[in-house]
Structure 1
Amino acid sequence: MDDLTAARATMAFSLGFHIIFAAIGMTMPFLMSAAHYLYLKTGTKLYLELTKMWMKGVAILFAVGAVSGTVLSFELGLLWPGFMEHAGPIIGMPFSWEGTAFFVEAVAIGLFLYGWGRMKPWVHWGTGLVVGISGFVSGIFVLAANAWMNSPAGFDWVDGVATNIDPVAAMFNRAWPHQSLHMQLAALQAVGFAVGGVHACLYLRGRAKELNLKAMKIAMVFGAVAALLQPISGHIAGERVAEFQPAKLAALEGHFETSTYAPLTIGGIPDEETQTMKWGIAIPGMLSVLAHGDPSAEVIGLDQFPREDWPPVLITHVAFQIMVGIGMLMALLAVGFFWFLKRGDFPRWFLRLLVAATPLGMVAIEAGWVVTEVGRQPWIIYEILRTKDAVTPVPGMVYHFYLFVALYSGLAIVTLWLFGRQIRITQAKLDAS
């Protein structure tokens, strides 16, 4: 493994680890606040128990997310000094605002954790809600920086130097709205289904059935609403990618030749050597419709770009198919959830489906970030700076990668053990009561 590959692998592994906890950190406080709200409105003790159970999970996962997010900040400078040299003066503002949002989140979670019996009930509830709001705002600022890498703005690039820098224009770049919307919905969807699946599993096992049924309903309302909105968000994102990053769209669709009435391929394996799609199901004109709203519209193919500027087509296409396939499956489950919620009864076979779907949202998030990051290659700043020109000249990056894999694996094991232990303690307490 050369140093460039090792640096990219380290960043990918760190980001892939952190994004799970970032999604949980953005969403779980809203679930916790919903349960707390229902307790304050109804006085039902089970909602109080559920609030405190989720609160402890939020505290554990917040700590892990904070650690892994801090590491990512250092890695940007250590692994990609070429990127920070050019990008730092331009896109530093959203990182500073993200730090502010994180500070508010940390204060709010402290107030909520230690505010029981010390604050007025609705004020205490408000601090928990602030945890979720500030977490969402934090994610929006980070996504502004990532969107800038996909759609650079706020500067003029003259002879390899950025001039006329406008940090506000850089932060509010063209890709920011659709990327932010898509990721925030993905977080709600993934965490809602994951939490709903865990509680559906506990319900099927006969553990604290009333509490777990209530918990499943709360989580799935968030997840199901997001799952139904996500295809709309994905369509908007696809149109913007077609406009801002046509090479990425061509790679994720395996679209090699520029054409009108461009087909949308379901499944399939792209072959870069023969520049063909194998075994896929092609729907004529549908890609033109999705990209430009017109079946006769021309969709730019990879043939319009130099070969050295192609993203890795196979990885990008497969990751995109995984993301879309999971998204559609979860949307169908969301329809089923609302159907059975209206009926007032959840059959066991449907609850088993929810249990099976527990990890799917997280898999879709990981696949989506592969599409975003791998699909931008070979650029770290799209059409401005190549990834290979931004990597550190320091040798031995492979050892850095191995170290982080070991550390993060250990952290994941400890986190899962703590989380599982907390669930077992709470469920045993409720079973005994």
Structure 2
Amino acid sequence: MRLLKISFFLILICSFYSQAQSTYVLDKDSASQKIRFELINNVIIIPVEVNGISLKFLLDTGVSKPIVFNFLKASDSLKVLNAEKIKLKGLGDGDYIDALRSSHNTFKIGNAINTDQTFFAIFDPRVNFAPKLGIAIDGIIGYDLFKDFIVEINYSNRFIRLHQPDKYTYKSCKKCETFNLEFNNNKPYLDAKVLTNGKDIPVKMLIDSGSSDAIWLFEDDEKDLTLSKNYFYDFLGSGLSGNVFGKRTKIDALKLKQFVLENPKAAFPDSVTIASVKKFKDRDGTLGGEVLRRFNCIVDYTNSKLTLKPNYFFKKKFSYNKSGLQIEHDGVRVIMEFDVYDNSTTFNPNSSGLQVKSILAKDYKYSIKPAYRVFNVIKNSPAYKAGLQKGDVIFEINGKSTHDMTLNNLVGYFYQKEGTRIKLVVDRLGKNRKFEFNLESPIK
């Protein structure tokens, strides 16, 4: 199954206090530290220990200071040290939210330790990305980790390796390309080219490993960055300040020096979103996780370099959700499961022996299973025409129960080839209903 293509973005536009930079350090005898990660919806989830509490963080090149949120499960034991109230603003159609700025915290990632880490704590229950990702995450970390190491990101084998800069030696690599990075507000940018509407256009792109999308482009008539007529309006993702909407299309190609990605997906966010994120006037868009995962990367903030090497995912075609359904995790349900067994024995009438009657028995148990809910239906899509509605809870897909599926497994059905028949059983207001439709690409 293809990975769920739900975008996740976060960019802070608040003012940070100037202060001496804290530092992550490895044991002096260690040249590097390997850390396994989960790859969920094209974004990297790593284990992080905060003041002795084990949490899961999204690794995001596009964020400056760490953010800790949705951690009410740990609120009794995770202390917010030296706190002061501030307001944060991120992507989305909402306003600023209240947060606490906490300093002098201890963060541990593998064997890398920082005993003076500042982070922003968000307690607002509306800031909850777990339903869209399908797993609970507790925070986001980026620049503060990347600045202290040369970070190897191996998307193929799902690990990162933190290298001490003074002990790292670059290896010769004929299949690699190295890019110079430019930084603005501690965020990395590189120069690339997009081929669209028959024109080769130079662009400056934010490198954002925290976005699960492929490419964002900002419309600009002067640079000929314009949307073709072949597009559809869509929910693009969730940000710190709410939802993000825009138009999705495909462009002819993305060019990263010798590497050419053909017909990549591209999103053109609404003007409100662009106004909130385009603080760097030369920025033309974003390279997200669906592009980055096609390479194994060496991220070197110390020397302002990014090295890319194509991996197993490089030649994978870009694909859209062809159903029009956008699904989120909707908590859990208690399910009664039956085990049926037959206690009979074989009786031979020609032999002496005791006759045993057949006994059919049932054992049952209650299990906690995930539930999945429709949170958006794209107008005029196959699912929309079939009658699916926001709030429908999906019980079955093509004869299989969704209770034993991950969110990725379920949404993967919607990325199959055009014309594939989809059969759903959903719960709507306590009644089971059946729906059928054929997958249809929104972009021809």
Higher strand share: 2
Higher helix share: 1
Fold in common (TM above 0.5): no
Greater relative CO (CA pairs within 8 A, separation 6+) = 1
Q: TM-score range by the shorter chain?
A: under 0.3
Name which one, 1 or 2, has greater alpha-carbon Rg: 2
TM-score (norm 1): 0.22
TM-score (norm 2): 0.21
